Amino acid sequence: MLGVLAGFSVVWAIIGVGWFCARRDVLGEGAQRVLSRLAFFVASPALLLETLSRADLSTIFSTHLLVIAVSATAVALIALVVFRWWRRRRTPEALIASMGASVANSANLGIPISVFVLGDASYVAPLLIFQLALFTPSFLLVLDGTTTTAKPGWARVLQFVLPIVTNPTIIGSMIGLLLAATGWQLPELVMQPIHLIGGAAIPAMLMAFGISLHGSRPFQASDGRRLDTVLATALKLVVHPLIAFVFARFALGIDGHALFAAVVTAALPTAQNIYIAAQRYQEGLVVAKDTVLITTVVAVPAMAVMAALLA
């Protein structure tokens, strides 16, 4: 338990440094964008390549992946019913809210939490692959069909395939998995720079997030979506990990650290790219923005409580 709390303390300390830098304007305008792009395009792929190249594939593609898929799909369907038929939101807005309740921040917070709290970055790999290769594209496919942005023929296919095959995180993960499957290791002269670059991923991610917290003002009364945001937040941080716990513990018989990892993975906050999707389709902007912010702020203390309950 002390090790878990120490891991959370490290995460919050680095986030706090980012927030302080933003408050004092140490890094200047655009620092968050630069740090985020550094982490996404360069450092994270290097970190995942190195980590997964040494991983046990039977651990990655195991019941943990099944828990991820089942819990995310279940909470997405629950959220869609809640927002479409109870809150009576238009289908595209309900879909964005459903994404906010089910799509986790697998990179910017998932990787640091996996390293410092779970003890191994490979725990987040199944989530990364599932979301980027299947879950998120499925949402976007339906959104495309319910808005005026749909593209015909091969253009529509490429719209979903290209972001997957060109995603740096997916590329780094796939290379790492290939190395693990074949047992082949890159020369030390190649791995050393990859190791050093990958070391920048976690501090860059967490500092970028800390910078983003400065000046944020969620729950504006004029937006008229306070209840929607509360519902999406509760679904993400309470219902999602609860479904993961019940399915993992009672359906699959998972316990111990593996159960804790499954619950923590499900409790990761809403992915920031949900807001990007909302901007793209011009639907659910308020709920997407506020859910990302609130779940990200509340998720770490919520996971600390889960750690205490499961320890």
Q: Can you give the pLDDT of all 311 residues of the chain as single tens digits?
A: 555 566 667 777 888 899 899 988 898 888 888 888 888 788 878 887 887 788 777 766 778 899 999 999 999 999 999 999 998 899 999 999 999 999 998 877 788 888 878 888 778 888 888 887 778 778 877 887 777 655 555 565 566 566 666 778 778 878 888 898 888 888 999 999 999 998 888 788 788 878 877 776 666 655 668 899 999 999 999 999 999 999 999 999 999 888 999 999 999 989 877 876 787 778 888 888 889 888 888 887 888 788 777 76
Residue 192, pLDDT score: 93
Tell me how far CA of residue 231 lies from CA of 36, 65, 113, 152, 225, in angstroms: 28, 26, 24, 35, 10
Contacts of 166 (CB under 8 A, 6+ apart): none
Give the number of domains in the chain. 1
On whether residue 124 sits in a domain, the answer given is yes
What is the per-residue pLDDT for 2? 53
- With a CB cutoff of 8 Å and minimum separation 6, the contacts of 306 are 241, 260, 263, 264, 267
Does residue 5 lie within any of the structural domains? no
Angle at 279 between CA 243 and CA 89, to 5 degrees: 55
Pair 18, 203: CB distance under 8 Å: no
Whether residue 39 lies inside any domain: the answer is: no
Domain contains 206: no
Largest pairwise CA distance in the chain: 58
Q: Given this model, what pLDDT does residue 249 score? A: 95
The domain containing residue 266 runs over which residues? Answer: 44-199+220-310
Q: Which residues pair with 104 in a beta bridge?
A: 270
The domain that contains 244 carries what CATH number? 1.20.1530
Q: CA-to-CA distance for 224 and 191, rounded, in angstroms?
A: 51
Is 265 a member of any domain?
Answer: yes
Residue 215: left if φ>0, alpha if ψ -120 to 50, beta else—which one?
left
Q: What is the pTM of this model?
A: 0.76
- Between CA 100 and CA 208 the distance in angstroms is 20
Query: What is the Cα–Cα distance from 218 to 191, expressed in whole angstroms?
Result: 43
Q: Residue 273: inside a domain, yes or no?
A: yes
Q: Which amino acid is at 63?
A: T
CA distances from 100 to 115, 147, 284 (A): 24, 18, 10
**Cα dihedral angle (218, 97, 230, 225), rounded to 10 degrees?**
60
Q: Would 268 be classed as within a structural domain?
A: yes
Residue 192 lies in a domain: yes
Q: Angle between the 273-281 and 136-146 helix axes, to the nearest 10 degrees?
A: 10
